[in-house]
């Protein structure tokens, strides 16, 4: 596990989602979030629950995918969490005010 890292998503007590990466074990990282070890977004939204994780062989790939997911819509993130990969292409389409629905 020395080279790679996990990309993970936790659902916070207020229903919001937090996306991060870790080289540590997922159990340890979730425990750190729940203990308030990290001052920041999750510290005031505890407890958190792990809802998604993916292992990457290179930490740079995990970080790149973290940045990508942070730009996704809530609906697209929820589809990923559900494992509904078939829904992702439709959810990726930009919707404009001028596009007929």
Check whether residue 16 and residue 62 sit in a common domain. Answer: yes
Does residue 99 surpass a pLDDT of 60?
Answer: no
Check whether residue 63 and residue 38 sit in a common domain. Answer: yes
How many separate domains does the chain show? 2
What is the mean pLDDT of the segment spanning 96-101? 58
Helices (H) and strands (E) in the chain, counts: 4, 3
What is the mean pLDDT of the segment spanning 45-59? 98
Check whether residue 63 and residue 93 sit in a common domain. Answer: no
What pLDDT score was predicted for residue 1?
Answer: 45
Residue ranges of alpha helices (H) inside 5-87 are: 26-35, 59-70, 74-82
What pLDDT score was predicted for residue 80?
Answer: 97
In sequence order, what are the beta bridge partners of 19?
9
Angle at 67 between CA 62 and CA 70, to 5 degrees: 120
Which structural domain, as residue segments, surrounds residue 11? 5-70
CA dist 85 and 83 (Å) reads: 6
pTM: 0.89
């Amino acid at each position: 596990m020395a080279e790679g890292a996990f990309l993970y998503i936790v659902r916070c007590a207020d229903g919001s989602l937090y996306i991060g990466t870790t080289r540590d074990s997922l159990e340890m990282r979730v425990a750190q979030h729940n203990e308030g070890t990290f001052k920041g977004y999750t510290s005031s939204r505890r407890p958190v629950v792990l809802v998604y994780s993916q292992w990457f062989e290179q930490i740079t790939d995990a970080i790149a995918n973290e940045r990508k997911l942070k730009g996704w819509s809530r609906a697209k993130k929820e589809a990923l969490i559900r494992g509904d990969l078939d829904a992702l292409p439709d959810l990726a389409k930009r919707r404009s005010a001028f596009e007929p629905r």
